[in-house]
Amino acid sequence: LPTRAGSSLEPEEHSMEPPAVPGEEQEEVPLTVAPGPAGCQLFGYVGIEAVLDQMKIKTMKTGFEFNIMVVGQSGLGKSTMVNTLFKSKVSRKSSQPSQEERVPKTVQLQSITHVIEEKGVKMKLTVTDTPGFGDQINNENCWDPIIKYINEQYERYLREEILITRKRKIPDTRVHGCVYFVPPTGHWLRPLDLEFMRRLSKIVNVVPVIAKADTLTLEERAEFKQRIQEDLKTHAISVYPQEDFDQDPEDRALNNRIREKIPFAVVGADQEHQVNGKRVLGRKTKWGIIEVENPAHCEFPLLRDLLIRSHLQDLKDITHNVHYESYRVRRLNESNRP
DSSP 235: T
Residue 12 lies in a domain: no
pLDDT score, position 324: 97
What long-range pairs does 288-296 form, CB within 8 A, spacing at least 24? Answer: 290/214, 292/84, 292/266, 292/267, 292/268
Report residue 58's pLDDT band, with 50, 70 and 90 as the boundaries: confident
Tell me how many degrees the CA angle 126-129-135 measures, rounded to the nearest 5. Answer: 175
Residue 53 lies in a domain: no
Residue 240 lies in a domain: yes
Measured CA to CA, the distance from residue 303 to residue 26 in angstroms comes to: 54
CA 251 to chain CA centroid, Å, is 14
Provide the 10 A C-beta neighbour count for residue 226: 10
Asked if residues 66 and 126 have their Cβ atoms less than 8 Å apart, the reply is: yes
pLDDT digit string, tens, across residues 102-146: 666 667 888 889 888 888 888 899 999 988 888 888 888 889 999
Measured CA to CA, the distance from residue 335 to residue 329 in angstroms comes to: 10
Strand 177-182 and strand 64-71: the pairing is parallel
Residue 85 lies in a domain: yes
Least trusted range by pLDDT, from 65-69, 239-243, 257-261, 283-287 = 283-287
Residue 83 lies in a domain: yes
Q: Taking the model in full, what pTM does it have? A: 0.81
Provide the 10 A C-beta neighbour count for residue 173: 18
Residue 74 lies in a domain: yes
Q: Residue 317: which CATH number?
A: 3.40.50.300
- Average pLDDT score, the chain: 83
β-sheet with 110-118: strand ranges across: 110-118, 121-129, 64-71, 177-182, 206-210, 264-265
Residue predicted with more confidence, 249 or 40:
249
Residue 228 lies in a domain: yes
% of the chain exceeding 70 in pLDDT: 84
Count of the separate structural domains present in the chain: 1
Domain of 121? 61-91+103-130+139-267+303-336
Strand 288-291 and strand 177-182: the pairing is unpaired
Strand 110-118 and strand 121-129: the pairing is antiparallel
Residue 28 lies in a domain: no
pLDDT score, position 204: 96
pLDDT score, position 159: 94
**Exposed/middle/buried for residue 138 (C-beta within 10 Å: 0-12, 13-18, 19+):** exposed
